[in-house]
Structure 1
C-alpha cells in the first residue's frame, strides 16, 4: 500500500496551516496514496502560550480539524493528523492525534502520554505540562495500510509504549514529531530504527522542519522505516510530501526470520543484590 508523508514548517496561523494540509491531501490522493501522515502540531506551531491559547478550541470547533475532515471526505483518503492543540473540558490543552477515514469520520483519537519537560544544553527550556494534560491510554486502530499504533514525539523515548502497541497487534507505529535540532541530530534516526526493529513493525514518522515563525527550529528528516530497520524514506530538511510503500509481506518475512515477538515474556521481579 502506498502512503504519503507530509513534512512541513508549521506556523502561527492555523488557517495557513490548514491550507497546507488540504493541499497535501489533494496531492497525496493524486499520487495514489491510501493514507496521508502529518506531523505533530499540524495546526499550530507557537511557543507563545498566550498567543497560542487564543486559537485553542474544543474538538468540535477546531477549524483545522474540520478542514482536514472535509478534504479527506472529498478525496476518499485516510489521514493520520499527527496532532492538533485541542482544548479539553477541564480547561487544559491536549496534544491530540486523529485518524480520519475516507468518509471524513474520526476513527481514533490519541492524547500524547509523555510530556516534554526538559532543559537542554543549548539553553532551550520546554515545559509542556504547564499547558497540556497527559493522555491516559494507548491506541491501535485498523486502517487500509495496517493496524496503526499511535504515539507523538517525546513518546519515542519510552519503548514500553511501543511494546504495548505491538502486543496489541500494531503493524505500523506512527511517530509524528516536532523534534528539536539538537536532540534530533543525536537520537532521531537511531531511536526510530530501534522501535522498528524491536517491534518488527513499520515506523512512519512525519516531522516538522526548519525555522518556524515563533522562532523555534525543528529537525525534519521525516522517516519511513521497514521492520528490519531499513530506511525507506528520509525527507531531509526541506518541507514537502514524500511517498513510500507498506508491504505486509516484508513484515511477515522479518517476523518469521526473527520471531522475537513470539518469544516475549512478562519480566519477573528484579532482584537487586
Structure 2
C-alpha cells in the first residue's frame, strides 16, 4: 500500500558525534541516506549533530549564517536526497551578543535545498547533574527569543531543542499555532535521560495531541560526556511508535493526519482550557 501525500514518514537520526567535523558529517549522511531509502520524506538530526567537543574549543566550529561546512552539508544533502531536512542544531554566530556567544540554532531546509526557517534554542541548560559535571550552556550560547514552525506538504511542524522539553508552555504555544508534529533534537545526558527522557516526551505528546519526533545523541563522546540516546517517535495518544537503543541508527514514523484529527475530536482538551481561572 502506498502512503498518501498527507501521511508521510519522518525519520529520526541518532548519532554519536565527536570532535571531527568531517567524520560527523559523513556519519550523518550515511544515516540520512538510509532514512530516504526507508521512505522518509523528512528527517531530523540530533542536537550538535556536526560537532560535540569541549566548550573551550567551540568557537572554532561556530559558523556565520549561510556560510560554513555544516550548513553547506545540510543544504546539499536536502537537495541531493530530495527531503525536508531539520538540522538538529549547530552553533551560529550572533552579531549582537556583547559576550561573543553564539546561538544553538536549528536550521531547516526544503527538498530543493533552500533554508526556509531557523529556530534558536530558547531554554539553556544551566544545571548541576549527578554525573560529576556542571553544565552552563549560557556561558557560550545566547538564548533565542522566538518560536518556529514550518509548513510542509504533509504537516505543520514545531521546532524545539533538548532542554526546551522541560517547558510545557513552549509546546502548548506550538500546538496553539497549529503544530501537528513537534521535533525535539537532543543531547540528553545519560543521567537525566534515564530518569526523565521518555516520561517528558510522552507527556508532551499527550498534553498537546501531537506527534513527537525526538532524535538524540548517544553513547560516550571523546571528552567523556555520556548521552542517553533512545531516540523516540510518539503518537498523539502517547504511544511509543518506535525507539532506538544507545547506538547510532535511524527510525521513522508515519504521520497520520486522520489519527490526529480523531484524537482531538474525541478529546478536545484545547477547547476545554480555562486559562482565566488558573
Shorter-chain TM-score bucket reads over 0.9
User: Cα gap change, 1:183/1:26 in structure 2, threshold over 3 Å: closer, same or farther?
Assistant: same
SS at match of 1:243: strand
Paired position in structure 2 for 1:36: 43
TM-score (norm 1): 0.95
Q: Which runs of 5+ in 1 are unaligned?
A: none
How far 1:137 moved relative to its partner? Answer: 0.7
1:167 and 2:173 matched: no
Matches within 5 A, 1:89-104: 89-90=95-96, 91-104=100-113
Measure, in 2, the Cα distance between the counterparts of 1:10 and 1:265: 44
SS at match of 2:89: strand
Moved over 6 A (4+): none
1:248 and 2:257 matched: yes
Which residue of the other structure, out of 206, 215, 232, is the alignment partner of 1:197? Answer: 206
Measure, in 1, the Cα distance between the counterparts of 2:13 and 2:276: 38
Paired position in structure 1 for 2:196: 187
1:111 and 2:120 matched: yes
1:238 and 2:244 matched: no
Paired position in structure 1 for 2:272: 263
Does the CA contact (< 8 Å) of 1:172 and 1:204 recur in 2?
A: yes
Which residue of the other structure, out of 77, 85, 89, is the alignment partner of 2:83? Answer: 77
How far 1:18 moved relative to its partner? Answer: 1.3
How far 1:170 moved relative to its partner? Answer: 0.5
SS at match of 2:224: coil
Which residue of the other structure, out of 2, 11, 21, is the alignment partner of 1:14? Answer: 21
Which residue of the other structure, out of 44, 50, 58, is the alignment partner of 1:52? Answer: 58
Paired position in structure 1 for 2:3: none
Residue correspondences, number: 268
Q: Which runs of 5+ in 2 are unaligned?
A: 1-7
- Which digits, 9 at most, give the CA deviation of each residue in 1:224-257, with x for residues without a partner? 0000000001111111111221111111111112
How far 1:148 moved relative to its partner? Answer: 0.6
Does the CA contact (< 8 Å) of 1:15 and 1:64 recur in 2?
A: no
Measure, in 1, the Cα distance between the counterparts of 2:125 and 2:154: 30
Does the CA contact (< 8 Å) of 2:15 and 2:28 recur in 1?
A: no
